[in-house]
Amino acid sequence: MKVIIVKDYEEASHKACEIMLDVIKNNPSANLGLATGSTPIRLYELMREDHKTNGTSYKQIKSFNLDEYFGLDQSHPQSYHYFMCQNLFNELDIDMNNVHVPKGNGDIDEECKAYNQLLEENPIDIQLLGIGSNGHIGFNEPGTAFDSVTHKVDLKQSTIEDNARLFFNGKIEDVPTQAVSMGIANIMNAKKVLLIASGEGKAKAIQATVEGPKTTEVPASALQDHPDCILIVDEAAATLLKK
Ligand SMILES: N[C@@H]1[C@@H](O)[C@H](O)[C@@H](COP(=O)(O)O)O[C@@H]1O
């Protein structure tokens, strides 16, 4: 794991943007693994700005999102599909046929199978990740097997609370209790992984991810075995790192 410590959220977003654009410029038909949550919002804004100003094209790019809430239709304003359109896709030249977000409704078993198949056929060049305060990646909560693939998940109470704080207008009762998520094995298959962590709320999870034992209790600790994993951590999220 390569840990890059930067001053703050703004610097983390710029650094992450640099790495994402580097992958896209080197391979204009790259497969991008994308993430939601509040952390990548500024990065996505920078990517939109770059597209507008410098004309970086996404015409040949394919995207694959990590996860989706169970029970929310794509058109629901709190769905991750909707989030991605609002924060990124609507202002890029990406072909929406090349955009993939797991479906949170319908026949979930079939959906998970199809998503795994899709990921097998389209190896991800760079997988962007945030991290949950409990160390989750995607929606892979503590206890998830490292060999897991796309599956339906029961969300932990702390994850529901975290997400209610930032989304769903603070209404905890509106946050779905389940989700569909790429598994940890799918994430580990990406050629490159880029995780961004910002704020003191992530300090414990970052310490456990980087310096703790590799354990399913900290899903992000699986990344210790990834051959090309970069963690961009701001000073607040790095406070508990010993080295
Ligand atoms: N499924 C998402 C994760 O992909 C994300 O990393 C996490 C952290 O969110 P935030 O970036 O808002 O702290 O939230 C959700 O649980």
**Nearest ligand 1 atom, CA 181:** 1
Q: What residue ranges define each of the domains in the chain, with the CATH number in brackets?
A: 2-199+210-217 (3.40.50.1360)
pLDDT tens, position by position, 24-71: 999 999 999 999 999 999 999 999 999 999 999 999 999 999 999 999
Does 90 have pLDDT greater than 90? yes
Average pLDDT, the chain: 97
CA–CA separation, 129 and 231 (whole Å): 9
Q: In terms of pTM, does the model score above 0.90?
A: yes
H-state helical runs in 88-156: 108-121
List, in order, residues 6 or more apart from 84 with CB less than 8 Å away: 34, 36, 63, 65, 99, 101
pLDDT tens, position by position, 187-227: 999 999 999 999 999 999 999 999 999 999 999 999 999 99
Nearest residue (by CA) to ligand 1, atom 7, is 132
Nearest residue (by CA) to ligand 1, atom 6, is 130
User: In the predicted model, what is the mean pLDDT of residues 110-128?
Assistant: 98
Asked if residues 156 and 134 have their Cβ atoms less than 8 Å apart, the reply is yes
pLDDT at 243: 74
Q: Which value does ipTM take for this structure?
A: 0.97
9-26 and 41-54 are packed helices; what angle lies between their axes, rounded to 10 degrees?
50
**Nearest ligand 1 atom, CA 35:** 4
